Structure 1
Amino acid sequence: MRALTVVPSRPGSLRVADVPDPEPGPGDLLVQGLALGVCGTDKEIARGSYGRPPEGTDRLVLGHESLGQVRQAPPGSRFQPGDLVAGVVRRPDPVPCGACARGEFDMCRNGRYTERGIKQRHGYGSELWTVEEDYAVPVDARLERSGMLMEPTTVVAKAWEQVERVGARAWFAPRRALVTGAGPIGLLAALLGVQRGLDVHVLDRLTTGPKPRLAEALGATYHADPADQVAERLEPDVVIEATGAGTVVFDVMRHTAAYGIVCLTGVSAAGRTLAVDAGAVNREIVLENDVVLGSVNANLRHYHQAADALAKADSDWLDGLITRRVPLARAPEAFTGGEDDVKVVVTLTGEG
């Protein structure tokens, strides 16, 4: 079969290669790969920034934003041939640490977890793949074209869960949310905010193209003014930060409502400096009981939260997030793109 592979830490090694068909274990599903979402993590691995192959091989099958169709299930399985599924990315560490032992492997304390398509496990970027039944999540049958959005939706499902858990330390009834960044993570965060009945605002620098239309189609308000101006004007109760841009991060931290919560989901590049009035930021956070927290990855609970959110969403709107589809034979084209790209997807079926 064909698979999208890379040699981690070797820039320029991304290619579609022939690899052996997978052999399902006793508790595994055999899945026909349908589509694969491409994100910044995949691009960083392709550039050689990080990633680790499985033991005994130098190449890694990429891909963690999966969508497939069950071809074969073990006896007594809750899945049937033809079901749509997504595969969970992370597996708990073998020790396990306290978090992993309790199913909270997204919060692993010792770093010995593994991840499909990222760290020591082959990913889902192949024509066929296997997954342990316990790490397979059903995808609504209506989402055959957009179900690969499951994994990025888990990221924001966890972010919203963390916001709500922090808010519950006292009376918390948020009304207004600001999402910074209108990429897939930002727009999916906005979707989950709208589903919660909040007044959602989305901030991005583009004024044309699909991003403003997608935000407005949700019922959110779109902004392209500087982050400090927008945040100061809105005084949001909740901010989901999805840009990783240092200036945006500190601008929104300073302009939340009292008892505001900022959840950082964007990863900033290292090596950049920024002049910040640290005293003013500290004063604001302390005197208003504000909270800033980081959130990444997801556990099984968040996958099921994401599945519920996608099942309730408008399928045409979800399809609109996918602005380009590239066949597996030309998969490296998905790793370059323009400003109008929101989500680029590699299709794993067909002859292309």
Structure 2
Amino acid sequence: MRALTVRPGTSGTARVDELPDPVAGGGELLVEGLALGVCGTDREIVAGEYGWAPPGRDRLVLGHESLGRVRQAPDGSDFAAGDLVVGVVRRPDPVPCGACGHGEFDMCRNGRYTERGIKEIDGYAAQLWTVETGYAVKLDARLADVGMLMEPATVVAKAWEQVDRIGARSWYEPKRVLVTGAGPIGLLAALLGIQRGLDVHVLDRVTGGPKVDAATGLGATYHSGPVADVAGRLQPDVVVEATGAASVVVDAVGNTASYGITCLTGVSTPGRRISVDAGAGNREIVLDNDVVVGSVNANLRHYRAAAGALAAADLDWLRSLITRRVPLERFADALTAHPDDIKVVLTLAGGR
């Protein structure tokens, strides 16, 4: 089988390798890889900025936004040949910490977790892969050409769960949400906001193109003005921040309605400094009972929620998020960001 591999920590080492076909062990599925979503984490790994190879090896099979079709399933499992599946990314640490021991491995406290295609376990950028049945999630068969959106959808399913749980500390009846960033995470966060019946607003820098079309096609209101102006006018009850841009974070946090909740999902680049009046920010958060929470990764509960959200979504709208489909042999093109990209997908052309 062919697989996209990289030497973590060394840029320019990504290549398509011919590897032995995997053999499913007890309690594992053998899966034909159909497609793989590409994200910023993959680009960071290929650039040598991030990532860990499996113990005793120097190369890692890339990819965590999986989509595949079951070829072989263990007897007595909930899976059968032909099922559409994705593989969960993270695995709990072996100790385990309290969170991992309770199935909340997305909240691991000691950092000893592992992740497919990122940290010490091969990923899903392969024409064949195996996955434990307990870390595979079945998708609606209708999602065969968009199911690789599942993993980013789990990120926002968790974010919304965090928002709902925090809101439940008191009376909670949100009306308006502002999503900052119209990439895959932002647009999928907007999708879940629409599915909750909220008045959804999406803000990004672009003034036209597929991001604007996707936001408005969803039924959200699109904005491209300064964050402080837009958020100050809207006074959103909830902000889902998906850019990681420091100035956007500060302006979003500072312009929610009273008892507002800001969920940060974008990872900021360190070293970029801005001037912030921390005293004024603290005063506002305290006096308004505001909450700022970070959210990353997902556990099995969030995968199930994301599968439901995608199954309930308009398929044509989901397809509009995939702006480029690139064959495996042209992986370098897929890993190069284009201005109008939302989600780029590698097609794996089936295992043998």
Report the residue type matching 1:64 in the other structure: H
Which string of whole-angstrom CA distances, capped at 9 and with x for unpartnered residues, describes residues 224-283 of structure 1? 001110000000000000000000000011100000000000000011110111111111
C-alpha contact (below 8 Å) 2:32/2:350 kept by paired residues? no
State how 1:98-137 maps to structure 2 within 5 Å.
98-137=98-137
Report the residue type matching 1:176 in the other structure: R
Aligned length: 351
Residue 350 of structure 1: CA displacement?
A: 5.7
- Number of the residue aligned with 2:228: 228
Report the residue type matching 1:329 in the other structure: E
Which string of whole-angstrom CA distances, capped at 9 and with x for unpartnered residues, describes residues 103-146 of structure 1? 00000011010000000000000000000001000011011110
C-alpha contact (below 8 Å) 2:14/2:46 kept by paired residues? yes
Distance 2:308 2:294 in 1: 23
- Number of the residue aligned with 2:172: 172
Distance 2:85 2:69 in 1: 6
Distance 1:11 1:228 in 2: 38
Report the residue type matching 2:31 in the other structure: V
Q: Which sections of structure 1, spanning at least 5 residues, go unmatched?
A: none
C-alpha contact (below 8 Å) 2:70/2:85 kept by paired residues? yes
Residue 61 of structure 1: CA displacement?
A: 0.2
TM-score, length basis structure 2: 0.99
Residue 208 of structure 1: CA displacement?
A: 1.1
Distance 2:140 2:224 in 1: 34
Which string of whole-angstrom CA distances, capped at 9 and with x for unpartnered residues, describes residues 167-222 of structure 1? 11100100000000000000000000000000000000001110111001111000
- Number of the residue aligned with 1:53: 53
Distance 1:251 1:140 in 2: 39
Structure 1 residues 299, 350: CA separation in 2 closer, same or farther (over 3 Å shift)?
closer
Structure 2 SS opposite 1:222: strand
Comparing 285-294 with 17-26, which one deviates more in the overlay?
Answer: 17-26
Which string of whole-angstrom CA distances, capped at 9 and with x for unpartnered residues, describes residues 32-59 of structure 1? 0000000001000111111001112100
Report the residue type matching 1:107 in the other structure: M
C-alpha contact (below 8 Å) 2:127/2:350 kept by paired residues? no
Distance 1:350 1:20 in 2: 15
Distance 2:263 2:254 in 1: 13
2:334 pairs with 1:334: yes
Residue 66 of structure 1: CA displacement?
A: 0.3
Distance 1:250 1:187 in 2: 21
Structure 2 SS opposite 1:186: helix
- Number of the residue aligned with 1:261: 261
Report the residue type matching 2:337 in the other structure: G
Structure 1 SS opposite 2:319: helix
- Number of the residue aligned with 1:156: 156
- Number of the residue aligned with 1:31: 31
Structure 2 SS opposite 1:129: strand
Distance 1:60 1:20 in 2: 14
- Number of the residue aligned with 1:196: 196
Distance 1:281 1:339 in 2: 34
2:14 pairs with 1:14: yes
Distance 2:142 2:83 in 1: 11
TM-score, length basis structure 1: 0.99
Structure 1 segments of 4+ aligned residues over 2 angstroms from their partners: none
C-alpha contact (below 8 Å) 2:240/2:264 kept by paired residues? yes
C-alpha contact (below 8 Å) 2:33/2:350 kept by paired residues? no
2:270 pairs with 1:294: no
C-alpha contact (below 8 Å) 2:6/2:62 kept by paired residues? yes
Distance 1:14 1:333 in 2: 12
Residue 337 of structure 1: CA displacement?
A: 2.4
Structure 2 SS opposite 1:332: helix
2:135 pairs with 1:138: no
